[in-house]
Amino acid sequence: METLVVRGEPRKVLTAVADRTDELLVIGAGARGRLRRTVWPSVARYCVARASCPVLAVPPSPLHHALDAVHRRNIWQLPLDIRELAG
């Protein structure tokens, strides 16, 4: 494993850096709706299609969606029912 900091457009930088067949590029797939897909192209899709090395696209955890909902409620200062998280 190696730490590397590179400036540039993420999709192009990632595919340029992970350029050997013996490397593995691990990238978050992210939750993508139609609007986001239209406005912002997917870095994960670009890397899967163009990288020279194998790419592992990791989808977001179901817990991530629950935490986002709690965060939105906190921002708007809405009451939170703990039972909603358990179901």
Name the pLDDT band for 70 (thresholds 50, 70, 90).
confident
> What is the residue type of 13?
V
Q: Are 42 and 32 in contact (CB under 8 A)?
A: yes
Name the pLDDT band for 79 (thresholds 50, 70, 90).
confident
DSSP letter (8 states) at residue 18: S
- Helix, strand, coil tally for the chain in percent (to 5): 45, 10, 45
- Residue 41 confidence (pLDDT) above 60: yes
Rounded to whole angstroms, the Cα distance separating 10 from 50 reads 13
* Residue bearing tokens 């009451």: 79
